[in-house]
């Protein structure tokens, strides 16, 4: 185990090859008799109207934005958590103030009504 990330790379390769092999094997031995009805889009017996690739609700986007704030800032918290045992009390309190600022952002989004599904 000289290089850890080489091992992860091998894992990606093998992890992709195994499902690919299953799909290829199934493609070789399964019957292939396509017809237009069989290949039509499934919609509980209804004819599909229009294209699928349409505009969607902006609500999802707002949740993604709130998530992004938290996700980026928690990356800063991981080094703090690892080093906590060696830090002075001041640094511990500083990390807690950072979390409080994060939570202030959550409270702001909450008061704004962003977190309510409409």
Rounded to the nearest whole angstrom, what is the least distance from the CB of residue 85 to another protein in the complex? 4
Rounded to the nearest whole angstrom, what is the least distance from the CB of residue 14 to another protein in the complex? 5
Phi, psi (degrees; rounded to nearest 5) at 49: -105, 125
Dihedral sign for Cα 44, 49, 50, 56, please: negative
What token pair was written down for 87?
């830090």
Distances (CA, A) of 102 to 4, 20, 55, 89, 95: 34, 42, 31, 20, 11
Rounded to the nearest whole angstrom, what is the least distance from the CB of residue 109 to another protein in the complex? 8
């Amino acid at each position: 185990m000289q290089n850890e990330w080489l091992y992860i790379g091998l894992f990606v390769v093998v992890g992709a090859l195994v499902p690919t092999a299953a799909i290829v094997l199934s493609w070789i031995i399964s019957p292939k008799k396509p017809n237009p009805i069989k290949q039509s889009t499934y919609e509980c017996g209804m004819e599909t109207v229009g294209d699928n690739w349409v505009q969607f609700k902006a609500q999802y986007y707002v949740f993604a934005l709130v998530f992004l704030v938290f996700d980026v800032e928690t990356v800063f918290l991981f080094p703090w958590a690892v080093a906590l045992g060696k830090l002075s009390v001041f640094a511990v309190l500083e990390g807690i103030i950072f979390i409080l600022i994060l939570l202030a952002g959550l409270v702001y989004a909450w008061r704004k009504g962003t977190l309510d599904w409409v």
